[in-house]
């Protein structure tokens, strides 16, 4: 727990940054459309830059190809011109491998893999926020993504501090406990049920649909932990504390959106196929 003046200042900084993030999310998601898409594209660029930086390709030709792929992908979401997703994937793969071949031995294989992986890990997965927002009643459903990630994380932290004893992943994140994880999942379920009850008319939800959404949130909370721990694993591999310093008290974009990156596609596809 945070103690002393230094700890209080850190808490205040994190709290203020968190409030600003929530306010920005409210504006972007409530507005939706092109504004949201542009905001997510900017966040994706920054997150990809943070990931590429630890791989030392952020300013290289390999990195530029990755940024270009993100631009193409987001433009295609707004104005579709690539008929099949497979064409985008294959075109990007061929292009990035061409850079690897013709620039050999400038790049190592793991840097090429990171260049390819990063676009999907950051940009494509985050874009599911926009795709969820564009669904029927998406202006309400999209908030499930944040209930599953930020909401469950807050519940997990509170429960972990109060009764956490058994370490969940001691080598990756020593402070996370099994009790906290269970609290996070239950917290996400309860928050979703409350949210569904309040906005059931706007979303045209039945009682059954509210329980389905609660189940989706439970799955989202589990995958959010995977996303959080996956980001921690990458940082451990590269021996860094944070991905960046853009968000005071939180780190970089990837430090704050690590769980959102995973919950966004989970919520989008489950809602798409389970809620009618």
User: In whole angstroms, what is the distance from residue 273 CA to residue 276 CA?
Assistant: 8
User: In whole angstroms, what is the distance from residue 195 CA to residue 141 CA?
Assistant: 10
Helix, strand, coil abundance in the chain, percent, nearest 5: 80, 5, 20
Task: Encode pLDDT of 10-66 as tens digits.
Answer: 667 777 877 888 888 889 998 999 999 999 999 999 999 999 999 999 999 999 999
* Mean local confidence (pLDDT), 131-142: 93
Q: What is the overall mean pLDDT for the chain?
A: 90
Is residue 231 predicted with pLDDT exceeding 50? yes
User: In whole angstroms, what is the distance from residue 141 CA to residue 43 CA?
Assistant: 21
Task: Encode pLDDT of 144-162 as tens digits.
Answer: 999 888 888 888 888 888 8
Which candidate, 39, 14, 50, places its Cα nearest to that of 154? 14
Sequence spans of domains, the chain: 32-134, 136-276
What pLDDT, on a 0 to 100 scale, did the predictor assign at position 248? 75
What pLDDT, on a 0 to 100 scale, did the predictor assign at position 3? 46
Task: Encode pLDDT of 164-201 as tens digits.
Answer: 788 888 888 888 888 999 999 999 999 999 999 999 88
């Amino acid at each position: 727990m945070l103690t002393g003046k230094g700890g209080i200042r850190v808490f205040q900084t994190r709290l203020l940054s968190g409030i600003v993030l929530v306010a920005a999310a409210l504006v972007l998601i409530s507005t939706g459309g092109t504004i949201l898409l542009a905001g997510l594209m900017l966040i994706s660029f920054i997150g990809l830059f943070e990931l590429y930086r630890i791989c030392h390709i952020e300013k290289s030709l390999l990195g530029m190809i990755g940024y270009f792929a993100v631009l193409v992908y987001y433009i295609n979401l707004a104005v579709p011109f690539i008929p099949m997703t497979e064409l985008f994937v294959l075109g990007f793969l061929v292009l990035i491998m061409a850079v690897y071949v013709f620039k050999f031995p400038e790049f190592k294989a793991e840097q090429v893999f990171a260049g390819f992986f990063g676009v999907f890990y950051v940009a494509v997965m985050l874009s599911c926020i926009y795709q969820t927002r564009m669904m029927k009643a998406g202006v309400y459903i999209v908030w499930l993504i944040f209930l599953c990630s930020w909401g469950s994380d807050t519940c997990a932290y509170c429960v972990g501090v109060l009764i956490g004893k058994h370490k969940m992943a001691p080598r990756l994140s020593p402070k996370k406990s099994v009790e906290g994880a269970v609290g996070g999942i239950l917290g996400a379920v309860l928050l979703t049920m409350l949210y569904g009850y309040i906005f059931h008319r706007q979303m045209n939800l039945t009682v059954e649909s509210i329980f389905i959404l609660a189940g989706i949130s439970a799955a989202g909370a589990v995958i959010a932990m995977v996303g959080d721990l996956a980001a921690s694993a990458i940082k451990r591999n590269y021996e860094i504390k944070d991905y960046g310093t853009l968000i005071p008290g939180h780190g970089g974009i990837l430090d704050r959106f690590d769980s959102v990156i995973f919950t966004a596609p989970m919520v989008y596809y489950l809602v798409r196929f389970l809620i009618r």
